[in-house]
């Protein structure tokens, strides 16, 4: 797959010397949804702002569709749509005018058909003549998305698109994102909601303290980092794990009616066969067997925590 955005060794120091990006390398593939996760202040917005031309990098380079964002900024920026983290809109402007304005800024001639499609896609059509100040927060966020989509971008950056958005609307937003992906738009979104990344991303990147900790296919990431749990539910209640079964990987559930076995999906031998045989040998009766994959959230928390631990130790 072709890379549509190539970021190499990108560094950014703000005035006063604070290093918000410490040499980020990242290739974004055409047509994918990439979720960037990271705690507050990790550098997600800084990364996006730099690619979009809002801040200038201290060093390093970025290309979008093969166009350098500095030397060939017109071509590069023409491909990009940006939905910023903060809701910045002119309160007295009408929805449709502000969306038209965005399209015009990108040098595209007025096209009411496109604007109508975009507004309908975001359920804003019936609000098109309203002033921005008359909209709810979630609607305003969708206006930002409409503005970003008004010039048919090939790459869309969504900086926390679902912050402060209710569950239903969040699902709608995911549908919009899925629809854009179906049209071949590459989407980069930042989020604090791990279930969001889990639900819609193809790949996940984790940023902490200005460094990209990892970028992985979501499925691979969960498979690689994720440990699986096997819950062996029993017909009887136990006081403790029977001596014959005792191992580090096995523990008793809180309700004492199940044994929980943790294993690594990557391992040659997971030990499940042996475990089940041993359970039978110990005279226990199985009621049911359930497996669980650890969520991205656990992976994420582990990753960020490990990093902090490492730094504390140093």
Partner 1 sequence: MNWTAIRSIYIFEMFRFFRTIAQSFLAPVISTSLYFVVFGAAIGSRIQEVEGVSYGAFIVPGLIMLTVITQSISNASFGIYFPKFIGTFFELLAAPISFLEIVIGYVGAAATKALIIGVIILLTAFFFVDFSIAHPLAMLAFLVLTSISFALFGFILGIWAGNFEQLQIVPLLIVTPLVFLGGSFYSISMLPPVWQTVSMFNPVVYLISGFRWAFFDSADVPIITSLLAILLFTGTCLGIIWWIFRTGWRIRE
Ligand X SMILES: Nc1ncnc2c1ncn2[C@@H]1O[C@H](COP(=O)(O)OP(=O)(O)OP(=O)(O)O)[C@@H](O)[C@H]1O
Residue 77 touching partner 1 (CB under 8 A): yes
CB atoms within 10 A of CB 83: 22
Q: Which does 218 bind (CB under 5 to 8 A by kind): ligand X, Mg ion, partner 1, none?
A: none
Q: Which span (23-31, 96-104, 212-220, 295-303) binds partner 1, by CB under 8 A?
A: 96-104
Which of ligand X, Mg ion, partner 1, none is residue 43 near (CB under 5 to 8 Å by kind)?
ligand X
Which of the listed partners (partner 1, Mg ion, ligand X, none) does 142 bind, with a CB threshold of 5 to 8 Å by partner kind? none
DSSP three-state, residue 75: helix
Contact mark string toward ligand X, 2..41, x via CB under 6 A: ------------x---x-x-----------------x-xx
Indicate the DSSP class of residue 267.
S
Q: Which residue's entry shows tokens 């040659």?
A: 268
The reply to whether 36 sits near partner 1 by the rule CB under 8 A is no
The nearest distance, CB 159 to Mg ion, in angstroms, is 6
Which residue in 298, 307, 294, 304 sits closest to 223, CA to CA?
A: 294
CA–CA gap between residue 36 and residue 211 (Å, rounded): 12
**Which tokens hold the place of 58?**
């201290």
The distance of closest approach from Cβ of residue 14 to ligand X in the complex, given in angstroms and rounded to an integer, is: 3
Interface with ligand X, residue 205, by CB under 6 A: no
Interface residues toward ligand X, by CB under 6 A? 14, 18, 20, 38, 40-46, 85
């Amino acid at each position: 797959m072709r890379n549509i955005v190539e970021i190499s060794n990108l560094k950014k120091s703000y005035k006063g010397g604070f290093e918000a990006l410490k040499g980020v390398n990242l290739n974004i593939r055409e047509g994918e949804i990439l979720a960037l996760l990271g705690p507050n202040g990790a550098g997600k917005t800084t990364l996006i702002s730099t690619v979009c031309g809002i801040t200038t990098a201290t060093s390093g380079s970025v290309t979008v569709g093969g166009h350098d964002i500095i030397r060939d900024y017109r071509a590069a920026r023409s491909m990009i749509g940006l939905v910023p983290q903060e809701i910045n809109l002119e309160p007295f402007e009408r929805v449709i005018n502000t969306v038209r304005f965005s399209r015009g800024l990108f040098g595209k001639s007025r096209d009411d058909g496109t604007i109508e499609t975009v507004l309908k896609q975001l359920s804003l059509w019936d609000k098109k003549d309203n002033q921005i100040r008359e909209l709810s927060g979630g609607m305003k966020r969708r206006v930002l998305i409409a503005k970003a989509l008004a010039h048919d971008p090939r790459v869309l950056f969504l900086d926390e698109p679902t912050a402060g958005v209710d569950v239903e609307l969040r699902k709608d937003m995911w549908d919009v994102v899925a629809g854009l992906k179906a049209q071949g738009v590459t989407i980069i979104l930042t989020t604090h909601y791990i279930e969001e990344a889990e639900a819609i991303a193809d790949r996940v990147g984790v940023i902490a303290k200005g460094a990209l900790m990892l970028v992985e296919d979501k499925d691979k990431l969960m498979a690689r980092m994720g440990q699986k749990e096997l819950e062996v539910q029993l017909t009887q209640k136990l006081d403790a794990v029977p001596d014959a079964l005792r191992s580090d990987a096995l523990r008793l559930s809180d309700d004492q009616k199940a044994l929980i076995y943790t294993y690594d999906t990557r391992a040659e031998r997971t030990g499940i066969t042996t475990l089940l045989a041993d359970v039978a040998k110990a005279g226990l009766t199985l009621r049911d067997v359930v497996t669980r994959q650890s969520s991205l959230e656990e992976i994420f928390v582990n990753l960020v925590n490990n990093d902090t631990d490492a730094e504390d130790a140093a």
